[in-house]
Amino acid sequence: MYVHVPFCSARCGYCDFAAFEGMDDLIPDYVDAVVEEIGSRVPVEASTVFVGGGTPSVLPPEQLARLIGSVPRRQGAEVTVEMNPESATVEILEAARAAGATRVSMGMQSALPHVLGYLDRAHRHDTLESAVRRARRVGFEHLNVDLIYASPVESDADWRRTLESTVALGPDHVSAYALGIEPATPLGVEVASGAKEGPDDDVAARRLEMAVGALASAGYVRYEISNWAQAVPCVHNLRYWSLGSYVGVGSGAHSYAPSSGTDPEPIDRRAGGLRTWNHRHPRRYMAAMRQDGVAVAEGERVAGDTALLEWLSLGLRRSCGVELSHEELGHVPEVLFEAGLVEVGASNGRPDSEPQEMHKGRLALTTKGMSLANAVVTELSLAFGEC
């Protein structure tokens, strides 16, 4: 289950998520509405919970505890809460922990003040360091930090320092994203009008290579395009990439119910499923819950080539790739191998067995392919769509 908290103390210029500032007076009623939605939507116990935002750490501790506590979940479930360094107080960390949170994800973004400034972040690196210390003191072993690279004010040396600081902090999980320019954000508008410089793709590619090198030598395993873990991945996110079912509650949250069985991935790649999403604005969301007891705004049934495209684009994000039949492997365009973007491994994970002898195998992106995932997915879905 994904639980969305749409409140922020200040919105970052790059952010295109359902996040709003200056609406804190809505919090109590909003939490009521979400608790009600949780009660109405979960027939089974959740195996993972992700409380994301927005900024869940801006909630009063007891409200956050109420949210977490109201999700019925299995024994040993992974429960992640997203926090901003400046609002990750002992009180909120303890409240989350007591309510059952097992993992904290911190928005670090960068270790350098000028980069944090460009990104409109309210914290400094020492704020983050002490927040991480507090989280550990409260008892969180599983800790993630989010990084953003390739903002135009960042140099290669800056990024190297951010990576070094990250490794020094030693979280057991790291997510690193290239700065994305979304058209409907303040930053997007400034870049489009030429008022601000945007990131450069070649620079971003180089920074990603730096991250791949630095994190690998520090013992992190890259298990997805933007995610690294020392030992334990984020099981919740893996669910998205495997097209498993999930229920999203709160404003703007998305839900997915696959049409075919999953084992653990879709058995029929074209069967697809039903995707729905809630009203994005918290007021709209709350009104819908109040009036109808349902907050779904819209949905779409995904099937056929569209389902195939989703399966490829999500599945290939993982280092383990996707499983293909022998025949499907034959349809993989030769150019992808020649350009060194994909590789084939044995279905059981033994990379040494010969692909020709296998009935099925796993197709995975190489490090280079991970930087060009869209191009690979487009090629593949065209090739598979025709056969």
Partner 1 sequence: MTQLETIRNFSIIAHIDHGKSTLADRFLQMSGAVPEREMREQFLDSMDLERERGITIKAQTVRIHHRGTDGTVYHLNLIDTPGHVDFGYEVSRSLYACEGALLLVDAAQGIEAQTLANALLAVEADLELVPVINKIDLPSAEPERVAEEVESLIGLPAEDCLMISAKTGEGVDELLAAIIERVPSPKGDVRAPLRALVFDSHYDQYRGVVTNVRIMDGTLGTGDSLVLMASKTEVSADEVGVYTPLPRSVATLGPGEVGYLVPGLKSVAEAKVGDTVTTRARGADEPLPGYKEPHPVVFCGMYPAEGQDYSELRDALERLHVNDASFTWEPETSGALGFGFRVGFLGLLHMEIIRERLEREYEVTIVATAPTVEYQVLTAGGDQLVIDNPSLLEPGFEEIREPYVEATFLLPAEYLGTVLELCQGRRGVQTKLDYVSEDRVELDYHMPLAEIITDFFDVLKSRTRGYASFDYEPLGYRPGDLARVDILLNGEPVDAFSSIVPKDRAYRYGRRMVEKLRELIPRQLFDVPIQAAQGGRIIARETVKARRKDVLAKCYGGDVTRKRKLLEKQKEGKKRMRSIGRVEVPQEAFISALRIDRD
By CB under 8 A, tell whether 4 contacts partner 1. yes
Which of ligand SAM, partner 1, none sits in contact with 2, Cβ below 5 to 8 A by type? partner 1
By CB under 8 A, tell whether 319 contacts partner 1. no
C-beta of 26 vs 383, nearer to partner 1? 383
| CB 303, min distance to partner 1, A | 13
C-beta of 17 vs 240, nearer to ligand SAM? 17
3-state secondary structure the chain: CEEEECEECCCCCCCCCCCEECCHHHHHHHHHHHHHHHHHHCCCCEEEEEEEECCHHHCCHHHHHHHHHCCCEEEEEEEEEEECHHHCCHHHHHHHHHHCCCEEEEEEECCCHHHHHHCCCCCCHHHHHHHHHHHHHHCCCEEEEEEEECCCCCCHHHHHHHHHHHHHHCCCEEEEEECCCCCCCHHHHHHHHCCCCCCCHHHHHHHHHHHHHHHHHCCCEEEECCEEECCCCCHHHHHHHCCCCECEECCCCEEEEECCCECCCECCCCCCEEEEEECCCHHHHHHHHHHHCCCEEEEEEECCHHHHHHHHHHHCCECCCEEEEHHHHHCCCHHHHHCCCEEEEECCCCCCCCHHHCCEEEEEECHHHHHCHHHHHHHHHHHHHCC
By CB under 8 A, tell whether 174 contacts partner 1. no
Residue ranges in 251-310 that form contacts with partner 1 under rule CB under 8 A: 252-256, 275, 277, 300, 306, 309-310
Question: Contacting partner 1 (CB under 8 A), which of 214, 225, 271, 288?
Answer: 225
Which of partner 1, ligand SAM, none sits in contact with 242, Cβ below 5 to 8 A by type? none
What gap in Å lies between CA 43 and CA 363, rounded to an integer?
A: 35
By CB under 8 A, tell whether 240 contacts partner 1. yes
Which of ligand SAM, partner 1, none sits in contact with 82, Cβ below 5 to 8 A by type? ligand SAM
Number of residues interacting with partner 1: please give it, by CB under 8 A: 49
Question: Contacting partner 1 (CB under 8 A), which of 237, 242, 279, 288?
Answer: 237
Question: Contacting partner 1 (CB under 8 A), which of 67, 77, 178, 271?
Answer: 178
Binding mask 204-223 for partner 1 (x = CB under 8 A): xxx-x---------------
What gap in Å lies between CA 221 and CA 121, rounded to an integer?
A: 28
Which of partner 1, ligand SAM, none sits in contact with 341, Cβ below 5 to 8 A by type? partner 1
Which of partner 1, ligand SAM, none sits in contact with 15, Cβ below 5 to 8 A by type? ligand SAM
| CB 300, min distance to partner 1, A | 7
Question: Contacting partner 1 (CB under 8 A), which of 94, 347, 378, 383?
Answer: 378
The site for partner 1 (CB under 8 A) is made up of 2, 4, 17, 52, 175, 177-178, 180, 201-202, 204-206, 208, 225-226, 237, 240, 246, 248, 252-256, 275, 277, 300, 306, 309-310, 313-314, 335-336, 338-339, 341, 370-375, 377-379, 381-382
